[in-house]
Structure 1
Amino acid sequence: MKKTAIFPGSFDPFTMGHHDIVLRSLNLFDEVIVSIGYNSTKKNRYFDVDLMVSKIKGVYAEEPRVQVVVYNELTSTLAKKYQAQFLIRGLRNTTDFEYENTISQMNRYLNPELETVFLITSPQYAAISSTVIREVHRYGGDVSEFLPFPI
């Protein structure tokens, strides 16, 4: 049976930490679907969603096992649509774990077939967050080493 995993997030922007999680996930799963969702707690995106789709697709242009999709529904519903059995989440610290664990429990309730797999962020990416990158970029700072593509 093909092992399909969803890697959901707002990816605003998609960072080297996210890229690292995708690459490591390809060692575990047959297909990884990077799923750009609309976060109801965030008012507006900083980077346009179409720009992120284009940039992420460019990063994985030579890797047919990675898809990029945009969604505006429950992640558990998206997983059913793509027949994904796994949900990938990266963890930088214990705060991430507390947040992700709660979401994982709800996803499991909504879709009992969906198993969440937590991957610990590689040390060199542990301090990177999309929030910090947006702030640095907003004020003219160089964020190129934190992204797998130019902005």
Structure 2
Amino acid sequence: MKTVICSGSFDPVTVGHIDIITRASKMFDKIIVAVLHNMNKQACFTAEERVRLLEKATSDLPNVEVTSFDGLLADFAAQKNATAIVRGLRALSDFEYEFQMALTNKKLNPELETIFLTTRSENMFLSSSIVKQVAQLGGDISSFVPECVHDEIIERLRKE
């Protein structure tokens, strides 16, 4: 059984995230969506809230499991017997950072591969930061986030 990890902050989850997870779910036996506790970022949603939102948004994907983790992704992958990390790329600017992370994870866990999936063109501009900014300024994010979690995201972001 090929298990892979899709990791990220997912603060909040976007349709771009769901697209990458869905496409990966068709390629591998099991997808572990791993929500990172990022100490360097002030999250709008707690890790538990992000896990819950992702569980709702991926409920139609039977081979997807959502969890959170602390520490090194390479160590988490080894604990979960994952053979690869799946990462989405929007633009060339993403590649440089993601390439460095892939090399670091390979050094820390030589058995671990990184697979890059390019975003669909309609999602190239999309990021959690854009979603937060548009929502906080009263804009329409309905095409940016999964419909099943839209209202929860709006409720939180409009309060901030």
Kindly provide the CA deviation profile for residues 36-80 of structure 1, in whole angstroms up to 9, marking residues without a partner as x. Answer: 0022331x1012322221121112223220000111110001101
Deviation at 1:138, TM superposition (A): 1.8
Corresponding letter in the other structure for 2:48: D
Identify the residue that residue 134 of structure 2 maps to in structure 1: 136
SS in 1 for 2:33: strand
| Aligned equivalent of 1:38 | 37
Aligned position for 1:66: 64
Superposed CA RMSD in Å reads 1.1
Deviation at residue 136 of structure 1 after TM alignment = 1.2
1:69-124 CA-partner distances (Å, limit 9, x unpaired): 11111000110111000100000011100000000000000000100000010111
* Partners of 2:23 and 2:108 in 1: CA distance: 27
Aligned to 2:16: 17
Q: Give me the whole-angstrom Cα distance separating, in 2, the residues matched to 1:20 and 1:63.
A: 12
> 1:87 matched to which residue of 2?
85
Structure 1 unaligned regions, length at least 5: none
Q: Give the deviation of 1:28 after TM superposition.
A: 1.3
Aligned length: 149
Higher helix share: 2
What secondary structure, in the 3-state scheme, does the structure 2 residue paired with 1:119 have?
strand
- Which structure has the higher relative contact order (CA within 8 Å, separation 6+)? 1
- Superposition TM-score, scaled by structure 1 size: 0.94
1:142 maps to amino acid? D
Q: Pick which of 54-63 and 23-32 moved more.
A: 54-63
